[in-house]
């Protein structure tokens, strides 16, 4: 059995079985809070935010509290990292004070450098390249709602961003069939595509990369989208609105999916842009259960990494 990694930076560092073990742990924690109430008693989590957040901050802070520990919210405006202190120095200092670090930041290299110099677990709460905690919550939701992951038909429509990267990697690791439709010039990073292709050779995932939403969504069990303009891309908003025409998840497009498809979105949603109100509020939408599962899966990740 592969040794468990020190950090949770990307699901690629973990074996499929290790990832499934964390997902099943998240489900157990969800239904038996008392059993794990003091499992991280006295543990301290530093939470570094260089990007604003609702779900990430509240779910991690509530999660460490529910496990008996305490979380410290550290805005880049309030700590020396925001005033030019090297990431390596921040990592070394925090390692002397706390038992784990969660960071939500921009460049993925910042997450990697923090983990390199920290002697305690580092969790990627989001980087511009990957959003692995969200992807894990999403696949926990799929397992709860559908009862299986291997062989599920997962369709992502929209920007080939950090969310698409994280979902594609995890799907291809766990044997889910993954199709993605993005406008031209907004496709996923070729490096991620190569990783997914390599994963699929072992897991049996079927992969489809296209610019045609109707092709991607055919017979989908899960339909997923994200905002067309992410944080830091606001100046591109008008161009993106134009380029993404035809990629909205609406009543017409979801007719090509299976009748019992799940609609998923990492939130926040720009209603009327990437998804219509009728879909996100419709009977196939599981976005609120999905959002709740951020709490449970992150508790499972913290428990797995910080319990020692």
Residues making up the annotated binding site are 53-56, 80, 104, 131-134, 162, 226, 230-231, 266-267, 294
By annotation, the residues acting in catalysis are 104, 131, 134, 226, 266, 294
CB 248 within 8 A of CB 223: no
Residue 92 half-sphere exposure, CB side, CA atoms within 13 Å? 5
- Residue positions forming the annotated binding site for carbamoyl phosphate: 53-56, 80, 104, 131-134, 266-267, 294
Tokens of 135: 């992807």
- Residue positions forming the annotated binding site for L-ornithine: 162, 226, 230-231
Q: Show Cβ contacts of residue 24 under 8 Å, excluding neighbours closer than 6 positions.
A: none
ω into residue 292 within 30 of 0, thus cis? Answer: no
- Cβ atoms < 10 Å from Cβ of 288: 10
Please report the DSSP string for 182-198 in residue order. Answer: --TT-PPPHHHHHHHHH
- Cβ atoms < 10 Å from Cβ of 101: 27
- Tell me how far apart the alpha carbons of residues 170 and 166 are, in angstroms, rounded to a whole number: 6
Closest CA to 122 of 269, 10, 244, 217: 10
């Amino acid at each position: 059995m592969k040794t468990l990694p020190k950090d949770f930076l990307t699901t690629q560092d973990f074996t499929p079985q290790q990832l499934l073990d964390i997902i099943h742990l998240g489900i157990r924690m969800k239904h038996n809070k008392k059993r794990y109430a003091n499992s991280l008693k006295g543990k301290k989590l530093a939470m570094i935010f260089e990007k604003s957040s609702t779900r990430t901050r509240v779910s991690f802070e509530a999660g460490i509290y529910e496990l008996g520990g305490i979380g410290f919210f550290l805005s880049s405006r309030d700590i020396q990292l925001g005033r030019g202190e090297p990431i390596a120095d921040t990592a070394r200092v925090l390692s002397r004070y706390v038992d784990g670090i969660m960071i939500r930041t921009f460049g993925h290299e910042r997450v990697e450098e923090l983990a390199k110099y920290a002697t305690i677990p580092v969790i990627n709460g989001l980087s511009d390249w990957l959003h692995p905690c969200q992807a894990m919550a999403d696949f926990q939701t799929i397992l709860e709602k559908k009862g299986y992951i291997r062989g599920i038909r997962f369709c992502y429509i929209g920007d080939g961003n950090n969310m698409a990267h994280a979902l594609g990697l995890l799907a291809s690791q766990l044997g889910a069939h993954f199709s993605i439709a993005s406008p031209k010039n907004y496709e996923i990073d070729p490096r991620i595509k190569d990783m997914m292709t390599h994963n699929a050779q072992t897991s049996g995932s079927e992969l489809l990369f296209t610019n045609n939403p109707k092709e991607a969504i055919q017979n989908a069990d899960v339909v997923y989208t994200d905002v067309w303009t992410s944080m830091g891309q606001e100046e591109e908003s008008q161009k993106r609105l134009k380029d993404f025409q035809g990629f909205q998840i609406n009543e017409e497009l979801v007719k090509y999916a299976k009748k019992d498809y799940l609609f998923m979105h990492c939130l926040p949603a720009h209603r009327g842009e990437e998804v219509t109100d009728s879909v996100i509020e419709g009977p196939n939408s599981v976005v609120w259960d999905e959002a709740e599962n951020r709490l449970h899966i992150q508790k499972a990740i913290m428990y797995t990494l910080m319990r020692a």
